[in-house]
Amino acid sequence: MQSILPRAVRELSNELTRLPGIGPKSARRLAIHLLRQPRQVVGRLGDAMKNLHANVQVCSWCYNLADDELCVVCKDEMREKSRICIVESPLDVEAIERSGSYNGLYHVLGGVLSPVEGITEDQLTMSELVQRMQKGIVTEVIVALNPTLEGEATARHISQLLGQREIEITRLGRGLPTGGDIEFADAITLSAAFEGRKEMS
């Protein structure tokens, strides 16, 4: 049976289903909820969505999200410049920063290697990582990827890429559960993972 909802509601619902974790029913509920809100509330939401692409940049140094050319971490003169923590996404940077367990720099890969999804090294910031190693004085690289099959494969690939250099390559300790995501880990778990990091073989 065809939907009897007005076209505008159907169109918004279709767009909302493109978001992760939003199915058709949730999308329709959200669309109806927004319809019931005052125009200024919906207007603020629309403005915030328009500003997202206009006002958010990718840090030219670590590939984290930023307001300017450099993110707040790369701008911070008090950070340990000799350590780089490699993460999958900006949400992982946010989670690690909340834990207060790390004071170095980051490198955001923008994903992990996944042959099934067609994600290759060229689609990640791997070559930029190698270039960073050549430019700066880095003594330790901490691989902080999610303990999934793709995360493990990406960690091994990074270890091979950087293995010829005189850099200590470590992994976070196993405070993180297998299959768990860094962005959802609590501060105590992340702190334990940083303290228990081990050299990669």
**140: β partners:** 83, 168
Q: Please determine, for residue 183, whether its predicted confidence score (pLDDT) is greater than 60.
A: yes
pLDDT band at 174 (very low <50, low <70, confident <90, very high): low
**Does the pLDDT value for residue 165 go beyond 80?**
no
Please tell me the predicted confidence (pLDDT) of residue 197. 74
Asked if 181 and 190 touch (Cβ cutoff 8 Å), the reply is no
**Sorting pLDDT into bands at 50, 70 and 90, what band is 15?**
very high
- pLDDT tens digit string along 31-87? 999 999 999 999 999 999 999 989 999 999 999 999 999 999 999 999 999 999 999
Q: Find where tokens 């778990």 sit.
A: 189
Confidence of residue 188 (pLDDT cuts 50, 70, 90): low
Task: Give the N- to C-terminal CA distance of the chain in Å, as an integer.
Answer: 58
What domains does the chain contain, in order, with CATH numbers?
7-55 (1.10.8.420), 76-199 (3.40.1360.10)
Cα 133 from chain centre: 21
| For residue 133, pLDDT beyond 60 | yes
Q: Give the Cα separation of 71 and 87 in Å (integer).
A: 15
**Average pLDDT for the chain:** 89
Q: Is pLDDT at 2 greater than 80 in this prediction?
A: no
Residue 99 exposure: Cα atoms within 13 Å on the Cβ side? 23
